[in-house]
């Protein structure tokens, strides 16, 4: 779930560094080229398949953000893949605390990659927020979402929108 929690802070650089040092298999996984699908409506703009092989980005999300010029696929894929890996391989919670949650760690990796490529993470998040807000008001049916969407983030940290989405997302998997 790419940016379901806009007010969350990323994990510390040290927490991400320690994670990567301790898990070379995570580094290897992130180094592989992901398969990206834009064939579905995806809550919060991004998700990943249960097997971690396909990153799903919302069909209405532009490939490049018009204001910042950020090509979103790379950065959202980093986020989704790291989040999935730590939740499924290490059993970490979606939010955890600032040092060990799947989402904060994924945000840190996403932001570090943006900075390394010369982009401003705050401007990126601000622009992405408009797409998230529009996405949240969109009605989604079971036919709109991939049948193999990883539901961990929706199940682990439920807010009112997640509670409305989960029955639809579960119905898509039948």
Residue where the block lists tokens 């991400």 = 16
Distance, CA of 174 to chain centre:
23
Mention every residue, 6+ apart, whose C-beta is less than 8 A from residue 117: none
Do 99 and 12 meet the contact criterion of CB atoms below 8 Å apart? yes
Helix 121-136 vs helix 102-116: crossing angle, to nearest 10: 130
Q: What is the pLDDT of residues 35-59, one digit of tens each?
A: 999 999 998 899 999 999 999 999 9
Strand positions, DSSP E, the chain = 35-40, 46-48, 54-58
126 pLDDT tier (thresholds 50, 70, 90):
very high
What are the C-alpha distances in Å from 146 to residues 11, 31, 102, 129? Answer: 29, 24, 21, 23
Q: Give me the residue spans of the domains in the chain.
A: 13-172
Instruction: Calculate the dihedral angle through the C-alpha atoms of 111, 124, 61, 137, rounding to the nearest 10 degrees.
Output: 110
pLDDT at residue 8 greater than cutoff 70: no
Do 39 and 61 meet the contact criterion of CB atoms below 8 Å apart? no
**In whole numbers, what is the pLDDT of the chain averaged over residues?**
91
- The pLDDT value given to residue 5: 45
For the whole model, what pTM was predicted?
A: 0.91
Check residues 22 and 9 and name the one with the higher pLDDT. Answer: 22
- The pLDDT value given to residue 96: 85
- The pLDDT value given to residue 9: 83
The whole-angstrom separation of Cα 35 and Cα 43 is 18
2 pLDDT tier (thresholds 50, 70, 90):
low
């Amino acid at each position: 779930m790419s940016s379901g929690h806009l007010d969350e802070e990323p994990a510390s650089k040290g927490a991400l560094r320690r994670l990567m040092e301790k898990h070379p298999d995570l580094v290897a996984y992130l180094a592989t080229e992901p398969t990206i699908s834009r064939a579905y409506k995806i809550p919060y703009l991004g998700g990943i398949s249960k097997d971690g092989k396909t990153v799903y980005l919302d069909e209405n999300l532009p490939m490049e953000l018009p204001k910042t010029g950020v090509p979103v696929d790379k950065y959202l894929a980093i986020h989704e893949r790291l989040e999935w890996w730590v939740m499924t391989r290490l059993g970490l919670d979606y939010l955890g605390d600032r040092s060990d949650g799947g989402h904060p760690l994924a945000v840190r990796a996403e932001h570090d990659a943006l900075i390394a490529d010369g982009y401003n993470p705050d401007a990126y998040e601000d622009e992405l927020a408009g797409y998230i807000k529009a996405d949240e008001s969109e009605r989604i049916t079971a036919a709109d979402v991939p049948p193999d969407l990883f539901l961990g983030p929706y199940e682990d940290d439920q807010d009112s929108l997640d509670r409305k989405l989960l029955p639809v997302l579960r119905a898509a998997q039948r």
